[in-house]
Structure 1
Amino acid sequence: MKKIGIILANLGTPDSPSAKAVTRYLWQFLTDPRVVDLPRWKWYPLLKYIILPRRSKRIAKTYTQIWTKKGSPLLAISQAQQTALQQYFDQRNIDAVVELAMTYGNPSMESAVQNLLKKQVEKIIVLPLYPQYSSSTTLAVFDCFARSIKKLRNLPPIEFIHSYHLHNKYISAIVNSIKERFKSDEFLLFSFHGIPIRYENEGDFYRQHCKQTALEIVEHLGLTENQWGLSFQSRFGREEWLQPYTDHLLKQIATDQNVQKIAVVCPGFSADCLETLEEIEQENKEIFLENNGLSFQYIPALNARPEHIEMMAELILAKANS
């Protein structure tokens, strides 16, 4: 096998839980046309002079609540994934180099590419850690990678992993993580990150992937229709996003359906981050319990679980041998 270079790509995180660092990160994130596709002349002044001054301090405060000694949970977990995957290949004498890259923030995609080229890899495989494809995430990674190689002339062959929402090891890993914590008297809610519904109308098939993932997991768990639900979280701005919204659904099922015990799993997140540790485990937990709910538990992302690492390796080796 040729010497392969692997880039594990995720969204990104601020360098610190400060308003300045959050502002810098959000500017990079929210000026990506894959994320917000409004005309620049209209969007940039609004973002710079109204949105960021209002949101950065508040978001920095929420980051402070989840920040660890190793830094941002997303970065720390991603580094653990990188280390575990490298060890997986080393233990099997597979000539591979694993680099970590964030679409926004650090470590950058450009640094990951340069590190691989310095180590003279003969093939580069990019794995966006988004099981369900979306133009706002997966294609944003592709764009970022394309920008990082724009001035290069010595580029080896490239493979880009599109999605893995129904991969058998991904599904089994999620199922096993649920089985470890889920109780028979709980309602299971699948919460996926949302996208504007306009993106779907323009051809993005993200919702379809989310539903397929949830249905496959439900089948393995043997749940009935009234034992589970699906929702979308983390909407931004006034535009309509994919529904039902997670916070609205939690309130509804607690008050109207008399659901008192709930477990929430977020299969679209490969690593725990602000959206899971703060938005789900804190904000949405509070919403549920304030509306007659009795118990709420968040089932962690796959993070660096061995099954998750094995799945990554299988995806990569399939591309390496193609």
Structure 2
Amino acid sequence: MPDMTKPANHPVIKPKKVGILLANLGTPDATDYWSMRRYLNEFLSDQRVIDFPKWKWQPLLQLIILSKRPFTSGEAYRSIWNTEKDESPLMTITRDQTEAISAQLADQYGDQVMVDFCMRYGNPSTKSKVDAMVKAGCTRILFVPLYPQYAGATSATANDAFFRALMEQKWQPAARTIDPYFDHPAYIDALATSVENGYAKLDHEPDLLVVSYHGMPQRYLREGDPYHCQCQKTSRLLRERLGWEQDRIVTTFQSVFGNEEWLRPYTVEHVAELAKQGKKRIAVIAPAFSADCIETLEEINEEIRESFEHAGGDVFSYIPCLNDNPEHIDALCQFISENLHGWVEKP
């Protein structure tokens, strides 16, 4: 029976849903020069990432950095590219995570929720996915940056893109963003399980576990960014959960860019020092990344491994990110359910 309270030409109103939008850093569409340049330009033009004045930074970026770096970055991406699906591993893994989370939440909430993912840089864009959720009838959206530790250059810029997308909606959905989960027991348990499983596969127990986080300028810490403190707490809670003494684990920072002093110790330098000090067998884990990507598969497993072995290290073991491990999916679903409180109830 037609709804007599609406005029005949009234737009169709979809049944209400709650959207859960996962967000990761991003990926180039391909490894050629122009695809890499578009991606790097978007990434390195973000003032949450590089906060120099535009008048000073943009000429350097456009005329020098982007004339050379797309070649070297493209080569690095080609070394890890998923050739079967013609996409980066980050895209593959984030999609797998989304499908697993969607299936688990569908069991809990039925068709009341819609789960999808976006990228801060590149495709699929945050705006395109917010548009799709609104068109699908989502009157509420929970935005979930897949960064355990909060940082202005990761969580905050992802939130910025989400809020900008909301600004363009005629009928804005209610919105929430998830808290950082760096110290959540379910996340720490998932990390510890990955370490235990990784060690169980090795012939010899490593002398040390190197917990490597993405770096940032030390200046950001002084300006109030909590990232460094949250990384340190994650490492401490992981060690305590594993029941280890302090000398079995060390926290380091990778991916240094530019001439500014960054958080120390630098992973690539520190692993070489460890080898020279007699720590001949190490394992490395990267808890700041929810999915394996260029910084783990290429930087850690190639550049940092080479630094350790060149300095005399014998056995370098990389423990993969949590990716779509069942423990990680369960943890993410737990965070999401906690943040959905009051929005949707289990049938």
Output the TM-score relative to the length of structure 2.
0.90
Correspondence 1:257-268 to 2 at 5 A: 257-268=277-288
Q: Give the secondary structure class of the aligned counterpart of 1:113.
A: helix
- 2:259 and 2:215 map into 1 onto residues whose CA distance is 13
- Please say if residues 29 and 123 of structure 2, whose CA atoms lie closer than 8 Å, have aligned partners that are also in contact: yes
Contact 1:267 1:301 in 2 (8 A): yes
1:251 counterpart letter in structure 2: A
Contact 1:138-1:162 within 8 A present in 2 as well: no
Matched, 1:29 2:37: no
Aligned residue in 1 for 2:13: none
Number of aligned residues:
320
For 2:141, give the aligned amino acid: I
Whole-Å separation in 1 of the counterparts to 2:40 and 2:165: 20
Letter of the structure 2 residue corresponding to residue 127 of structure 1: V
Does residue 301 in structure 1 map to residue 317 in structure 2? no
Aligned residues of 2:210 and 2:285 also touching (Cα < 8 A) = yes
Matches within 5 A, 1:156-235: 156-182=173-199, 184-235=205-256
Which residue does 1:112 correspond to in 2? 129
- Distance of 1:260 and 1:43 partners within structure 2: 42
Q: Work out the percentage of aligned pairs sharing the same amino acid.
A: 41
3-state SS of paired residue (1:51): helix
1:321 to partner: Cα distance: 1.3
Shift of 1:93: 4.0
Specify the code of the residue in structure 2 equivalent to 1:96: V
Note the alpha carbon deviations across 1:46-88, whole angstroms, 9 max, x for none. Answer: 0011111121101100100000122100001000011111111
SS at match of 2:152: coil
- Provide the rounded CA distance (Å) in 1 between the counterparts of 2:308 and 2:70: 26
C-alpha separation between the residues in 2 aligned to 1:3 and 1:178?
38
TM-score, length basis structure 1 = 0.97
Equivalent residue in structure 2 for 1:121, among 132, 138, 144:
138
Instruction: Indicate whether 1:280 and 2:297 are aligned.
Output: no
2:97 to 71, 81, 98: 81
Ranges in structure 1 where 5+ consecutive residues have no aligned partner: none
Residues 1:7 and 2:50 are matched in the alignment: no
Extract unaligned runs of 5+ from structure 2.
1-15, 343-347
Give the AA of the match of 1:319: N
Residue 43 of structure 1 is matched in structure 2 by 57
Considering only aligned residues, what root-mean-square deviation do their CA atoms show, in Å? 1.1
Correspondent of 1:250 among 263, 271, 276: 271
Distance, in Å, in 1 between the alignment partners of 2:248 and 2:123 is 40
Residue by residue over 1:219-278, the C-alpha shift from the partner in whole angstroms, topping out at 9 and shown as x without a partner, is: 1112222211110000111111110000010011111x2100000000000000000000
Runs of 4+, deviation exceeding 6 Å: none
8 Å Cα contact 2:239-2:246 kept in structure 1 = no
**Residue pair 2:43, 2:49 contacting (<8 A) in 1 also:** yes
Displacement of 1:318 in angstroms is 1.4
The higher radius of gyration belongs to: 2
2:77 is aligned, of 55, 63, 77, to 63
Alignment partners' CA distance in 2, 1:229 and 1:77: 27
Q: Residues 206 and 283 of structure 2 are in contact (CA less than 8 Å); yes or no, is this contact kept in structure 1?
A: no
